[in-house]
Amino acid sequence: MVGALAALLFLLFLASPSRAAEPKRLEEACRIAADSGMNLRQALPRLDRCERRTPKDYVGTIWVDYPHMPTDLTIAKTWRLVLDNHVSSAVDVWLIGPKGPPEHYSYDPNEPGREWGAGNYLSMLVSPMRPVSRIVVRLGDARSYSYVRAPKIARARSFVPIERDQAALYGVGVGMLALTILFHLSLFVAMRRRFQLFYCAHVGLLLVYGLSYSGLIHIFLPSLSAGANSAILSFSMVGATATGISFVIEFLGASTPRWLRRWAIGAAFASISMATLTAIMPDRWSYDFYALANLVAIHAILLTAGIVIRACIRRVSMASAIALAWAVPMGVSLMYPARAFGLITDAMLPDGLMMFATTLECLILSLPVASRIRSLRIEHERAHERHVMLERQAQTDALTGLANRRGFGEALARAAAGHGAPMPVALLVIDIDHFKRVNDHHGHATGDAILRHVAAHVARVAGSGAIVARYGGEEFVVALRNHDLMRAGTIAERIRISMGVTFDTETELPGVTVSIGVAAGFSDEIETILGDADCALYRAKNEGRNKVMLADGPLMYAAAA
C-alpha cells in the first residue's frame, strides 16, 4: 500500500507540476571550446559568432551562451540558478544587461558545503542589481557530453516547496528500495536461492542511483564532489542492467536455453565491466567509454526484453509479471542512451522519471519474487514432510507400528542427549516362546496378528515414558529411563503375567507366553547392558521359558507350576 502510494505521488509529481512555480529553462544559443585563460571580454565576440562549437567529446574549458531570458529577473530579488554539469572544476556565471558592467558569480562543484539540487544539479543563488538580458556560463575542466539538461532559473522562494516535495518523493522512493532489499535479504536467509541475491544486488544498485540522484547521498558523504557523484550515477545505472539480466535468467531458470543464457551472462559481464571502466577512465578517453557503455547498456536491455518476451510467449510461470514490472523502466532506460546519441531531446526526459520507474519496478517485481519464494517454501515444507515421513518409516516396524532397531537406537540417543549426564536406564529383552511352532500350526497371518497383539500389550504395560521396539523376528526391546534393576524386573514380571490374560479375554488368537531378560546401567554403556539383558533372556529360556531373569542374578520370577 505504501509502495503504491509512492508510485502515485511520483506520477502526480511528474504529470501535474505547479506551472506557477515551475522553474523556467534557459535556451542555449551557443557552446564553444576555449583556452582556460580566456576572459569574458574575449569570449563574447566568439559567442556572438558561435565560433568553434564544442564537440561532444571535448574536455576542457567550455563557454555557454543563453541570450534570451524566459522571464524578467526582478532586480534586488534572489533567484536560484541550477546547472546540469556533472563534471567540472569550477563554474563562473555572468549576468549581462543592456547597461552597466556584468555581474559575476562563481561556484565550486567540489566544495563540501556547496549548494546542490536533486538530479545532481549544480545550484547557486544570484541577486541581480540591474536588468538582465543575457547569461553566460564558463565551465572549467568540463566534459561536454555531461552537460545535457538545460539550466533552470526561478525565484529562490519558489524552489523551497519544489525542493521540499522532491525531498519527500525521493525519500519515499529510496525508502521503498531500502525496505525491498531488507525484506528479500531476510527471505534469502531462509530460502538461499541465487536469484534472490541477484535481485537484491539489482535493487541495491537502484538504491545507490536513487541516493545519488536525489542528493540524499550527501547526508552520508557530505564531501562528495559533483564528479564523483556523476561517476556513482553512471556506474549504478549501467551496473543495474547487468544484475537485471542476471536476475532474469536465474529466475526463469531452465526455460531459457543454454545458448541464450551464455549470451546473457556475456552481456551482464560486459555491462559491469563498462560500468567500472566508465567510473575510473581518464578524461581523455571518457567520451569513448561513455558512448560504448551506452551501447552495451542498450544491448543488455534489449536482450533482457527479448528473454522476457520469449518466456511470455512460451507461457513460463510469472514471466508476464516480470514483463509488466520492467516495461516502464526498460523504456525509460532506453531513453537515456537515446538522449546521449541525440535521438531524443532533453525535454522528452523529465527529471525524476528514472526514480519513478525504478520504484515502480521494485514494487511490481516484488510480487512475482515473493510468489516464487512462497512456492519454494511450500515445496520445501512438502519435501521436509516427505523426508520426515520416510525417516519415520525407516525407523518404524511396518507390522507392529513400534520402532525398529534403528529407531530404537536413535530414540535412546536423543533421550540420553537431553538428559545431559549419563542417564540410568534399564533394558528388557522380550522373546515370544515357541513362536516358530505357532507359525507352523496356525499360519503366518495368525503369527503376524500375535506379534501385533504382543507389541500393543508390551507398549501399554511399559508406560508412556518407555521406548519400545521390535528388535527383530519375535523379539522386542523396552528401554526404561531412570529405572534400576529391581524396578525394571517388576515391570517385566507385570508384562509376563498379564500377557496370557489378554489372550484369554481380548482375542480369539492362540495364547503365547514370553521370556524376558533384564539388565540395568547407564546410557553411555547401552551395548553392554543390551548384551547382559540378552544373556539373561537365554538363561530364562534355558530354565524352561515363561520366566523373567535378571542379569548376573538368579531366576527372579517364574510361572506358577
Phi and psi, residue 152, nearest 5° = -125, 150
Distance of CA 205 to the CA centre of its chain: 13
Report how far residue 309's alpha carbon sits from residue 457's, in angstroms, rounded to the nearest whole number: 66
Answer yes or no: are the C-beta atoms of 79 and 153 closer than 8 Å: yes
Query: Of 323, 325, 302, nearest to 312 (Cα)?
Result: 323
Answer yes or no: are the C-beta atoms of 426 and 518 closer than 8 Å: yes
Q: What is the 3-state secondary structure (H, E, C) of 221-266?
A: CCCCCHHHHHHHHHHHHHHHHHHHHHHHHHHHHHHCCHHHHHHHHH
Cα distances (Å, whole numbers) of residue 299 to 307, 381, 432, 517: 12, 40, 79, 80
Phi and psi, residue 88, nearest 5° = -165, 145
Report how far residue 397's alpha carbon sits from residue 394's, in angstroms, rounded to the nearest whole number: 8
Answer yes or no: are the C-beta atoms of 356 and 7 closer than 8 Å: yes
Query: Of 44, 26, 51, 35, nearest to 101 (Cα)?
Result: 44
Name residues whose C-beta falls within 8 Å of residue 380's C-beta, 6 or more positions apart in sequence: 191
Answer yes or no: are the C-beta atoms of 216 and 170 closer than 8 Å: yes
How many Cα neighbours within 13 Å face the side chain of 402? 31
Report how far residue 153's alpha carbon sits from residue 49's, in angstroms, rounded to the nearest whole number: 25
Which residues does residue 1 pair with via DSSP β-bridges, in sequence order?
Answer: none
Residue 527 is among the residues annotated as catalytic for this protein = no
Answer yes or no: are the C-beta atoms of 496 and 516 closer than 8 Å: yes
How many C-beta atoms surround the C-beta of residue 426 within 10 A?
A: 26
Tell how many helices (H) and how many strands (E) occur in the chain.
15, 16
Helix (H) / strand (E) containing 431: strand 424-432
Query: What end-to-end distance do the CA atoms of the chain give, in Å?
Result: 84
- Given 474, 475, 506, 508, which residue is catalytic? 474
The strand order across the sheet containing 547-550 reads: 467-472, 475-481, 424-432, 514-522, 547-550, 555-558
Report how far residue 116's alpha carbon sits from residue 222's, in angstroms, rounded to the nearest whole number: 11
Query: Of 220, 70, 19, 43, nearest to 140 (Cα)?
Result: 43
Q: At what angle do helices 2-15 and 353-394 cross, to 10 degrees?
A: 160
Q: What is the 3-state secondary structure (H, E, C) of 42-105?
A: HHHHHHHHCCCECCCCCEEEEEEEECCCCCCCCCCCCEEEEECCCCCCEEEEEEECCCCCCEEE
Active site residues: 474
